[in-house]
Chain A
């Protein structure tokens, strides 16, 4: 079932002024429940503007934004619920930490939802565990944590609300390779456990290749495609024209295919490429 749906969604900044700019142009989308989705696009492609419609931060200039089949703008009083159901984590969320302790910071959202104290405590602990945060950190000041832990604390605050959809804008910006991998595996772990939908906005093709099932690609205010990740990376030439690229390994595998080697089309991680190359080598040996 679709959790989020857009119908001809269009958004124009500064309409009626000389700075008028259509940032999202007639986007029709149907986003499923329980999916890990990557969102990619050139700077200025409209992906952030689109994301801000998903939880009602922006109202479409025309077209509709539906959550669980209901137009989120039909009844303004319900917008608060929409924001509980669709959580949005901005870039560098650690700058939004404000409480005295990590636990209190994480509790802020759930408290505003009116949950019981016991339920809030459970959620704090569960979320900290899913993100691999040491429980001892919960009583520390968020400002005394390392960069990566601060960011986890900030993300945990939104996760603890258990939104049906969680949107993360570049959650790994500025993290080192090991930190990126750990953060992304923990986010995927959260997605599996909660069976929610996670949208991961990223500039790293390698990261979305490894961690997402589907890709939403924006280009020049339009939806370029919304397909399974492996299908998107087959379209290397088109992606290059959009100012994007495919992971290094996908590019090598495609060049080999073009030269006539019998490799599958959907190789975009090192692991898959290795297995495919080994399979091919194995075949060769049999023929000898």
Chain B
């Protein structure tokens, strides 16, 4: 498989604070030698507790941050080459936590058109791209609405449409559902899965919700600036004790299976969905 993202031994630290706050003068690196390859068309979830470095890593993918040492390649383009910046950001788009911080225009379709306009796309094609992007996130009928009148889930889908209009090969989402209600979360997750499955867009999802991570093909766990687990959701979540020790969690059904196994019942450690849990319990009872 073709690798769309290649991180090679990335080390990164934030610049020392100049203000006189009481932080230690020694500034420890946030990322300590991270190497990772992501396949084109895959869906990867990145987990880690607050401060683990996962968002810092994500910001390297579209060159918002540059490594102190090591290299980041997006479709073989080196993110440290300034001349490639536009091309890289067009290939890898980013969606953040708060939808209100990502919407710039007062009409939905104008907001979605913002990026292609800046890329110098011809007007007729912009029209086409905006329509396609809004349809892809199921928000086409809202194209003339004001973003302020939309729900959080809808706004977040507009932000995703704004990225899709650039026709990226990869979308990085940094806790896109953290501020949404259950329905909004579901809308956004369904949109992400659809983009991945139908359009073949590579997805990198950072999340604190284990049920969302369970939908990915692969989970990468970052702790203290290093990758410590990298496997399928089933394998990663089967490490219940290690996940808890890392300040993370596992889906509730995985935890139930784990608890039952601990007291001696033969339940598979690789249960991550409600259906699997149902089947296992029925077999047991």
Residue positions of A touching B, CB distance < 8 A: 41-44, 140-141, 143-144, 146-148, 173-180, 203, 205-206, 243-245, 247-249, 251-252, 255-256, 259, 261, 270, 273-274, 277-278, 280-281, 284
Contact = CB atoms under 8 A, between A and B. Distances in A.
A245 B249 CA distance: 20
A175 B50 contact: yes
A179 B247 contact: yes
A281 B265 contact: yes
B119 interface: no
B248 A43 contact: no
Interface string B197-231: 00000000000101100000000000000000000
CB-based closest 4 A-B pairs: A178-B247, A243-B183, A177-B249, A176-B49
Contacts of B124: none
Given A144-B22, A277-B281, A179 B49 contact: yes
B281 A256 contact: yes
Interface string B242-272: 0010011101110110011001010000000
Given A144-B23, A177-B249, 5 more contacts: A177-B210, A178-B247, A244-B181, A259-B282, A284-B285
B127 to A, nearest CB: 30
15 contacts: A41-B181, A147-B51, A148-B50, A176-B48, A176-B49, A177-B49, A178-B244, A178-B249, A205-B182, A247-B252, A248-B274, A249-B252, A256-B281, A274-B260, A277-B285
Say which size band chain B's interface belongs to: 35 or more
A270 B260 CA distance: 11
B231 to A, nearest CB: 19
Contact of A261 (B50, B263, B285): B285
A177 B181 contact: no
**A interface majority secondary structure:** helix
Contacts of A41: 181
A270 B277 CA distance: 12
B182 A252 contact: no
Interface of B: 21-23, 48-51, 97, 151-153, 175, 178-185, 208, 210-211, 244, 247-249, 251-253, 255-256, 259-260, 263, 265, 274, 277-278, 281-282, 284-285
Contacts of B181: 41-43, 203, 243-244
A175 B281 contact: no
A179 B50 contact: yes
B252 A270 contact: yes
A277 B247 CA distance: 27
B178 A174 contact: yes
Which of A174, A178, A244, A248 has its CB near the most chain B CB atoms (within 10 A)? A248
A186 B179 CA distance: 22
B208 to A, nearest CB: 5
Contacts of B50: 146-148, 174-176, 179
Given A43-B151, A144-B23, A270-B255, A176 B265 contact: no
A148 B208 CA distance: 15
Contact of B182 (A245, A256, A277): A245
Contact of A270 (B21, B244, B259): B259
A231 B125 CA distance: 54
A280 B247 CA distance: 32
Contacts of B178: 173-174
A120 to B, nearest CB: 24
B183 A244 contact: yes
Nearest to A176: B49
A98 B97 CA distance: 24
Which of B251, B278, B281 has its CB near the most chain A CB atoms (within 10 A)? B281
Contacts of A245: 182
B247 A281 contact: no
Contact of A255 (B210, B278, B284): B278
A209 to B, nearest CB: 10
A42 B183 contact: yes
B210 A278 contact: no
Contacts of A284: 285
B260 A277 contact: yes
Given A203-B180, A243-B182, A248-B274, A176 B248 contact: yes
B253 A248 contact: yes
Contacts of A248: 211, 251-253, 274
Contact of B252 (A42, A175, A206, A277): A206
B182 A251 contact: no
B152 A281 contact: no
B183 A252 contact: no
A215 B137 CA distance: 33
A249 B256 contact: yes
A249 B253 contact: yes
A273 B281 CA distance: 11
Contact of B49 (A42, A178, A203, A255): A178
A283 to B, nearest CB: 10
